[in-house]
A and B are shown apart, each in its own frame.
Chain A
Amino acid sequence: MFLTGYGKAARKRRDRLATVVIASLAGFVLLVLASLMTYIFVQGVSAVSWEFLSEFPRHAMTEGGIFPAIVGTVYLAVGSMCISIPLGFGAAIYLAEYAKPGALVSAVRLGVANLAGVPSVVFGLFGLSLFVTTFGFGRSLLSGCLTLGLLTLPTVTAAAEEAIRQTPASFREAALALGASRWQAVRQVILPAALPGMLTGGILALGRAAGETAPISLTSATAYSPALPDSPFNEAMALTTHIYNLATNGSDIAATRPQQFGTSLVLVTLVLGLSLFALVIRARLRRSRRW
């Protein structure tokens, strides 16, 4: 029999079979992912040109470019980082440097771990209820940035805490032994050592914020705007919602297909570029680290 028996030959056969099965599973996954990327690239690349990147949409979105959507996505992603990086880094410093084990720290950590799994559409509902309605910001860039900022906060916090914990304890002890106060040790010794790692987490979160659809469509996005937003209280277009709108709601979905794939390619390039940047920094950091 092929799969039974405990003779040496049977066990060797099983080993080989399992190796083949696992390697082909992995190969299949990688093949799917690679062909997906190729498809997105091939479909999108013919639509992307300088005009596509720098002009406003025309003729019910069938012509022209996606400039306002690019600008909107950049505003939203950068704006959300202005919220989540200070708060996330602060929370991470507290958890890693100040907090003593206890009920508060367990609660914070459980909260952060759970928030990371809360669906983005639920954050969208929260933003709609708190920022759009209760605070009266309306559907605006500001509401979108705040919502995305809270959405990425757990990711930023967890990555930053991890980065701080990876600085050796001897750094901290040496600073304190020289008479530094806690804050002096954090500011002058620990943060300079941990900052590249913390920022890597921030860049990954930036990519995630740029790729979100549902929270933006609930709190800030508009299908079309004739001008760039000139205040935080304006609605704005975004790449993700632009793709969604073109693919599902347009008057002529087939006619806007090149636009859809072109926008997808721009979005994927932006998000993967940011992630790649973060990964490269992380890899360099690991190699150059001397402790």
Chain B
Amino acid sequence: MTGKKLPEWNNLDANDERDSVVLHPETNFRPENKETPGIVTDGVGSQLFNEREPGRKKPERAPLLERADGDPPDDREPLETVDLRPRLSPAEKGSRFFFLLCAVLAMGQMLLIMVFLFGEAVGLFLEQAGSPRVALGSFLFGTDWYPTYPEPAFGSFALVAGSLAVTFVSTLLAGPLGLGLAVFLSCLAGRRTREWVKPAVELLASIPSVVLGLVGMMVVAPFLQETLNLPTGLNLLNSSLILAVMATPTIASLGEDALSAVPRDIQDASYALGATRWETVWRVTMPAALGGLSTAVILGLGRSLGETVVVLMVAGGAAQIPGSLFDSVRPLTSTLAAEMGETAIGSSHYQALFALGVVLFFMTLAFNLLAWHLSRRWRTGR
């Protein structure tokens, strides 16, 4: 007794999820044209050209060749295997491959940066001839940065403290100012004012930082020196002021986006309950935009942390843990830019600078992930 045999090719339906079918000599007939297996005149073939979703799991389906219990195993040689996947033209395949390559490269860059920074830095912590091995603990927590001494010291703590200090003070200034400007643009200003002021603010965010550094040296430094009677105007306060000028437009622009995304109706509901404008802004609009607002501040903070040439020009450059606003500091970024030109490639100093780069990279990564997390957590609904 033989099982009920179905001609396999004829039995394909539009939902067939397989990439190929096996043709058997007796039970199946071959399609006329092997080159275009999808085109058969039984009315279902053309459906096979539908694009499949590559990631989707194929559903379990019963075998097309139904066999009864007592049948001997089907051990005939298959005649041929026919590919059922949609045939893509070379242009189609090529373009898809190129775009995928670009996307992978855009992401892979992150890994490449890490690999190269680590690769250059790791030598500092390994045993090697001629130069001293530096313990990880003394690099991270040491406060002495004397890279060019006969007995060099590579302690990054004072530099990290310098970076954090300028970032913190500048955000303390830029946060309220930027958010104030954002609230003004989004909730107080008329449509006309907003249409002019917002692009102007965004334009100012693109002033090259070296120009702001120059202004810090020429204007802010003498001013601080004279009015506060300091030995030098190049210090923590000066660099924080300039960084605040840089970060404020960023915070204002992103903050305005977040506030504008708050649904109109919940604000109208607040007014309908008799709330004043300020009460609506403070109790309804700002809490609803909290995720976006905090993201704006953190991205502004990240900008201050990573800014190089401003702190190089106006922070003073002494590698010490700052005790007051008027101390000279040496953030990580300015150390990298100032010293990289003077070191021999492959020396301990060069490796130590790359290790500073790794520290900086992870500090900004932490801020970025925090911003990413906050913006997803409190995504402003529409």
Q: Which residues of A contact B (CB under 8 A)?
A: 11-12, 14-15, 18-19, 21-23, 25-26, 28-30, 32-33, 36-37, 39-40, 86-91, 93-95, 97-100, 102, 104, 107-108, 110-126, 128-130, 133-134, 150, 153-154, 157, 181-183, 186-187, 204, 207-208, 210-214, 217-218, 240-241, 243-244, 247-248, 257, 260-261, 264, 267-268, 271-272, 275-276, 279, 283
Contact = CB atoms under 8 A, between A and B. Distances in A.
B206 A129 contact: no
Interface centre among B102, B119, B210 (most CB of A within 10 A): B210
12 contacts: A29-B178, A36-B212, A108-B106, A117-B302, A119-B308, A121-B306, A129-B116, A129-B120, A181-B89, A243-B214, A268-B208, A272-B203
A12 to B, nearest CB: 7
A244 B210 contact: yes
B1 interface: no
Contacts of B306: 117-122
Given A32-B245, A211-B208, A94 B214 contact: no
A154 B175 CA distance: 25
B103 A271 contact: no
A184 B208 CA distance: 41
Interface stretch (B3-11, B14-22, B75-83, B358-366): B358-366
A113 B108 CA distance: 13
Given A29-B248, A154-B106, A264 B99 contact: no
A98 B280 CA distance: 43
Contacts of A279: 199, 202-203
A108 B101 CA distance: 11
Nearest to A123: B113
A133 B281 CA distance: 54
Contacts of B95: 183, 186-187
Contact of A126 (B108, B112, B213): B112
Interface centre among B108, B218, B341 (most CB of A within 10 A): B218
The 10 closest A-B pairs by CB, nearest first: A119-B306, A90-B102, A25-B180, A211-B208, A111-B107, A94-B99, A26-B184, A15-B276, A18-B278, A214-B308
A7 B79 CA distance: 91
B88 A130 contact: no
B120 to A, nearest CB: 5
Contacts of A97: 99
A214 to B, nearest CB: 4
B117 A213 contact: no
Chain B binding surface SS class: helix
A69 to B, nearest CB: 12
A117 B248 CA distance: 16
Contact of A90 (B99, B178, B211, B337): B99
Contacts of A182: 51, 92, 96
A22 B180 contact: yes
B295 to A, nearest CB: 11
Interface in B182-228: 183-185, 188-189, 197, 199-204, 206-215, 217-219
Contact of B360 (A11, A40, A121, A130): A121
A219 B243 CA distance: 24
